[in-house]
Amino acid sequence: MNIDNTLYAGRPADNRSETEMAIYDRLDALGIEYKRADHEHADTMEDCLVIESVLEAKICKNLFLCNRQKTNFYMLLMPGDKPFKTKYLTSQLNCARLSFAEADKMAEFLHTIPGSVSALELIFDTENNIQLVIDNDLMQDEFISGHPGISTSTVRLKRDDMLRYVREAGHEPVFIDLPCEG
């Protein structure tokens, strides 16, 4: 994967998608400082390991999930190196079996595509269709990082700034404890 080894402060100067620029607009409007790394599409956690070295922070796993009936949607943020087992999450959320949500719902609610989802896109879910769920282990990190609508950039925010960002977008997180071992 090709990566620009520069850690940028703030928004890009070049032309980007409306979705990405809307996220930078919201960060700037809230006065939230952020760092950014630019790279080729990073669709796997392995790709993210390379980006972490530039960001000087870990990148969390962001999963867009739904219940069996496809009526309840969840965005799970958890440490990237932690295994994901649905049974532990469903029991804590007291919901039916979870699976990955369809790409069309991701586009509709979050204006993004698979491989690019992060909590930064919650600004587009103005009707609160998605419940944000955060693993408590992630709260131990100083920073939370995610893609700004597309997986060709990764933004690093201070943990408390990310929480303020999602709350300003009308999404109060539910905190859960996922085990490290499956």
Q: What is the pLDDT of residues 5-23, one digit of tens each?
A: 999 999 999 889 999 999 9
d(CA 60, CA 54): 15
Residue with tokens 């009308």: 170
Residue 43's contacts (CB-CB under 8 Å, 6 or more residues apart) are 115, 151
Full-model pTM: 0.93
Per-residue model confidence as pLDDT tens digits over 38-76: 999 876 767 778 899 999 998 899 999 999 899 999 999
Residue with tokens 């944000």: 132
Would you put residue 179 in left (φ > 0), alpha (ψ -120 to 50) or beta?
A: beta
Q: How many helices (H) and strands (E) does the chain have?
A: 5, 9
Res. 87: pLDDT tops 90: no
Query: Higher-confidence residue: 123 or 94?
Result: 123
Q: What is the DSSP letter of 180?
A: S
Average pLDDT over residues 167-181: 94
Across the chain, mean pLDDT equals 93
